[in-house]
Amino acid sequence: MDQLVPTERYSPYRIFTAERWAQFRHDTPLTLTEDEVRRLRSLNDPVDLEEVRRIYLSMSRLLSAHVEAMQLLFRQRQVFFDANDAVKAPFIIGIAGSVAVGKSTTARVLKELLARWPSSPKVDLVTTDGFLYPNAILRQEGLMDRKGFPDSYDVGAILRFLSGIKASLPNVRAPVYSHLTYDVVPGDFVTIDRPDILIFEGINVLQTRDLPQDGKAVPFVSDFFDFSIYIDAPEDLVHDWYVERFMRLRDTAFRDPKSFFHRYSKLAPSAAKAIAEQLWHNINLKNLRENILPTRPRADLILRKGTNHLVEEVALRKL
């Protein structure tokens, strides 16, 4: 049974074409400019202002409703517990999906739109990259070829971070990752201080684990999410986007002598493309099939992309 087939009788989702989805934005204002969208989008991602109108404004309106509903529930719980001193917990949005599918662009554009609501909420964005084990540990454990797989992350650190955020603790720190050096930056942290909304983005944020037979609590990262989004696309398209991005990086960021991938910038185009294909098939495709794609049905909202990174279909979980 494919839950994302519109005619599937038992699907927990409502399926919309991008054109139908765009109509749900109603009078939600467009608060971004073309130049701002251009700065927010990732390399090789052609998302433009029209795509923001088609897809993101309806998402913004939907999330506004969810945040308002959670705030109402919080106030009702305060009355229920006869407590007036509790600090309001932030609304946490998880964004998952394959490498090269456009998660970072979605996260950044969404962050800007949410921060420009009339209520001016404080919105922060954190990625899971900083929670990867340092390369030294990955090499020691023989995990460098599994970087990005669930076992390459410090899940305990992720859970402690999200627990602190959800408890509204001040100045919760998240480690910083450098895409230039392809490693966690020692001693470098970003401090998140009680946001109204936190966007937490990463390929495996909807990942589950085996449940213990004794019934003891095993928290998942997604247990801290109030809403989750999965960016989806056919496997062949993601492959093309990954290789295209690799080749563009070869001509740009990889040319920096400090880049972990600097050696690839010196290869002939055919040799560099062969490396990209190898990395895709041996690491990223394997991770997609084994770990990332199986988490798709756990998302509240699924954005299904087609050619040119444009969303063609939206699946929203039924209430």
Starting at the earlier edge strand, list the strands of the sheet with 91-97.
13-17, 311-317, 301-305, 227-232, 91-97, 197-201, 123-127
Rounded to an integer, the average pLDDT of 136-148 is: 96
Residues 6+ apart with CB under 8 A from 102: 42, 45, 47, 231, 305, 309
Residues 270-284: pLDDT tens digits?
999 999 999 999 999
What are residue 136's phi and psi, to 5 degrees?
A: -60, -40
Q: Report yes or no on 2 lying in a domain.
A: no
User: What's the pLDDT score for residue 6?
Assistant: 64
Rounded Cα–Cα distance for residues 13 and 11 (Å) = 5
The parent domain of residue 250 ranges over 13-317
The reply to whether 1 falls in a domain is no
Q: Which amino acid is at 81?
A: F
- Identify the CATH number of the domain in which residue 59 sits: 3.40.50.300
At residue 1, does pLDDT exceed 70? Answer: no
Residue 2 has pLDDT above 80, yes or no: no
- Structural domains of the chain, count: 1
Q: Is residue 3 part of a domain?
A: no
Contact 67, 92 (CB under 8 A): no
Task: Give the tens place of pLDDT for each residue, 256-272.
Answer: 999 999 999 999 999 99
H/E stretch holding 279 = helix 269-279
Res 7: pLDDT: 64
Percent of the chain scored above 70 by pLDDT? 97
CA angle 225-231-237, nearest 5°? 160
pLDDT, tens digit, 9 for 90 and up, residues 82-136: 877 677 889 999 999 999 999 999 999 999 999 999 999 999 999 999 999 999 9
Supply the Cα-derived Rg of the chain in whole angstroms: 20
* pLDDT, mean over the chain: 94
Reported as a single tens digit per residue, the pLDDT across 188-232 is: 999 999 999 999 999 999 999 887 888 887 889 999 999 999 999
7 falls within a domain: no
